[in-house]
Amino acid sequence: MKQETIIIGGGIIGLLSAYQLANAGQQVVLLESGETGSEASWAGGGIVSPLYPWRYSPAVTALAHWSQDFYPGLGESLRAHTGVDPEVHETGLYWLDLEDEEDALTWASAQGRPLQRVAMEQVHAAVPVLGEGFSNAVFMPGVANVRNPRLLRALRVALAGMANVRIVEHCPVTGFLHEGGRVLGVQTAKGEMRGERVVVAAGAWSGELLATLGLALPVKPMKGQMILFKCAEDFLPSMVLAKRRYAIPRRDGHVLVGSTLEDVGFDKTPTEDALDSLRATAAELLPALADAEVVRHWAGLRPGSPDGVPYIGEVPAYKGLWLNCGHFRNGLVLAPASCQLLTDLILGRKPTLDPAPYAVAGRLL
């Protein structure tokens, strides 16, 4: 059966791309080498903001701001339609002892974002479990986190209920069908599949796929490890971030602490060294966690890319081949805007955002 769009990858980018295209009336088949939502998108923390938004380019900022505005409505719509609540949880975010605090405040003023200095006594009043030893803080209200495993499950349920979507799991893609500079489909472990276009949304594996066409996409795996504690529901009222590590509260009292950043290829084995380091971070940020049980410890592979600017658009050398990949640490943050932009471009609609910074032309090595 000929499909309009074949999407490779069942993480947040692949699932949401499929959802947006299907809602626009397209026939979609989504191919996943394992099970949908089981890789980096599942493993992340789900903060709906880059960790240090002022350190990113305007290209990342534009996607982030659009997505931040979109997330509450997306969460509510998915909950209403699927019965699975992605838990878009607005807690605000405290940054502690920033080296570039002035840059952060200048950026926020220019962007119209409500970032402000807060006296440490106010921070301790608002977050009584916070550790001592921090000198300065800035706070942005309204920053949310999304419970990413539930977001992925909600999208999976939504897609399963759409007649114009087919999801094929345990179906690794091994290469592309192409002729005369046009991609016609894919080769998979389950045989050939043909379509009008193919979208690569395979996260850290996207570079390996494109290498089969002789294209060098500078996207590689960057390992991140996290730990999870179970606390009282009111234990941590806001997200806190210091020294590139963070603590994220879920509504039911689970608290995530992360994360490492490791360049070790496709190895996603959790390590004792990382566990010890993350536990030390947890105890420094929130001393009550020093004696808390680690409910779970895991690792995922982020799709590392130069400057974290994703690739969104058609590959000039191969008509019908589209990319939506290379989001690095910000896949969940940037997904709504990225997938909306991809959908606009595929359907020839006026783009939601300027597509130029994300275009593929001139960015492949």
Question: 164 and 114, same structural domain?
Answer: no
**Mean pLDDT by groups of 10 residues along the chain of 365 residues:** 84 98 97 95 94 96 97 97 96 97 97 96 97 97 96 98 97 96 96 97 97 96 96 95 95 95 95 96 96 94 94 97 97 97 97 96 88
* Cβ atoms 37, 156 nearer than 8 A: yes
* Helix 148-160, helix 58-82: angle, nearest 10: 60
Show the domain range for 16. Answer: 3-48+150-219+306-358
CATH code, domain carrying 34:
3.50.50.60
**332 burial level (CB within 10 Å; 0-12, 13-18, 19+):** buried
Question: 299 and 224, same structural domain?
Answer: yes
Helices and strands in the chain, H and E counts: 9, 18
| 87: in domain | no
Q: What is the pTM of this model?
A: 0.96
Pick from 257, 263, 275: nearest CA to 328: 263
| 318: in domain | yes
Condensed to tens digits (0 to 9), the pLDDT of residues 226-264 reads: 999 999 999 999 999 999 999 999 999 999 999 999 999
Strand residues in 201-347 grouped as ranges (E): 220-230, 239-242, 245-249, 254-258, 294-304, 311-314, 321-325
Question: 311 and 300, same structural domain?
Answer: no
Question: 353 and 243, same structural domain?
Answer: no
Pick from 355, 138, 157, 165: nearest CA to 242: 138
Q: Where do the H-state alpha helices sit in the chain?
A: 12-23, 40-43, 58-82, 101-111, 120-126, 148-160, 206-211, 272-285, 331-347
